[in-house]
Structures are given as C-alpha cells and as structure tokens.
Amino acid sequence: MMEQIAKNIKQYRKKSNLSQQDLADRLHVSRQTVSNWERGGSLR
C-alpha cells in the first residue's frame, strides 16, 4: 500500500509540473520529506 501512495505522490507532482521543492513549499515540508515519500519511506 505504501508503494502505491509513493507512486501516486510522484505521479501527481509530475502531472502538475512541480519539482519536489515546489510541492514541498506548497505543503510546508522540506524537499527531503517529499523525496522520502516518493521513495516509499515514512509518510509522516
């Protein structure tokens, strides 16, 4: 399930033409957090 969430986050970001930093700024998290999510790491 986490793999699917990670895939969905990355697909949404790319479809929206956002960089990891752009998405991070919109969500008020770090770019590293977005990267971690996209790799299937912690979703906190």
Q: Tell me what pLDDT residue 2 has.
A: 80
Per-residue pLDDT reduced to its tens digit, 27-44: 999 999 999 999 988 655
pTM above 0.95, yes or no: no
pLDDT above 90 as % of the chain? 82
Mean pLDDT of 7-13: 96
Share in percent of the chain as helix, strand, coil (round to 5): 70, 0, 30
Cα gap 20→38, rounded to integer Å: 9
Alpha-carbon Rg for the chain in angstroms: 9
Cα gap 17→6, rounded to integer Å: 17
Q: Tell me what pLDDT residue 44 has.
A: 56
Structure tokens at 43: 């979703």
- Say whether pLDDT at 22 is over 60: yes
For 20, half-sphere exposure in the C-beta direction (CA atoms, 13 angstrom radius) is 12
